[in-house]
A and B are shown apart, each in its own frame.
Chain A
Amino acid sequence: ETGVTQSPTHLIKTRGQQVTLRCSSQSGHNTVSWYQQALGQGPQFIFQYYREEENGRGNFPPRFSGLQFPNYSSELNVNALELDDSALYLCASSLVGAGEETQYFGPGTRLLVL
């Protein structure tokens, strides 16, 4: 059983650019959640996808968008990057509906916006 993986591990972008981060869920999981962790802070919930549909969203603007694919992998897209978007982006997968719904986190993608 493979764990949650994310790519790339590090990324540098400039203000105004667009970025796509990728997450591969743990085998058998049907739900993925994305979190933003700014330096020195706890993770903040961005949104969650369940069976390819958005299933809850935190206090993030629409330029943060996502996709979940039939194989339950996921993407986080951020348009019009701002300096404050610099953070560690974490995805977490879980299996909703089976009684064991713990969220398992990937290692994260560290994004730096210059």
Chain B
Amino acid sequence: AQSVTQLGSHVSVSEGALVLLRCNYSSSVPPYLFWYVQYPNQGLQLLLKYTSAATLVKGINGFEAEFKKSETSFHLTKPSAHMSDAAEYFCAVSFNFGNEKLTFGTGTRLTIIP
């Protein structure tokens, strides 16, 4: 069975500081991995995805994530936080790209301190 663990349900960083949101996965087969962002009262927006190509994936809004098989991790980073980054972030895993259910983590709420 596949699963995702997001460490830290709440993360606070100062504006301009590094953002690091942690995601570890469990999968018996090579996974497809995703990060989604959810702003208040909105649906999910795809930030980036890993589909077995490059291990360092760049996404929208300056975010990137690195797939580390040895650590079963797919942490999300951004060098400099902006106030507009305040949102809920979800890591998700899938066996098959697109034609399979997404299994989500429980989310990390990111707060940006002015």
Contact A56 B44 (CB under 8 A): no
Interface size on B, as a range, is 20 to 34
Interface size on A, as a range, is 20 to 34
CA distance A95 to B44 in the complex (A): 17
B contacts with A: majority SS: loop
Contact A105 B43 (CB under 8 A): yes
CA distance A44 to B46 in the complex (A): 17
Contact B102 A45 (CB under 8 A): yes
Taken residue by residue from 50 to 62, chain A's Cβ proximity to chain B (1 for < 8 Å, 0 otherwise) reads as: 1000011010000
Interface residues of A (CB under 8 A from B): 4, 6, 31, 33, 35, 40-45, 48, 50, 55-56, 58, 90, 92, 94-96, 101-108
Interface residues of B (CB under 8 A from A): 4, 36, 41-46, 49, 90, 92, 97-107
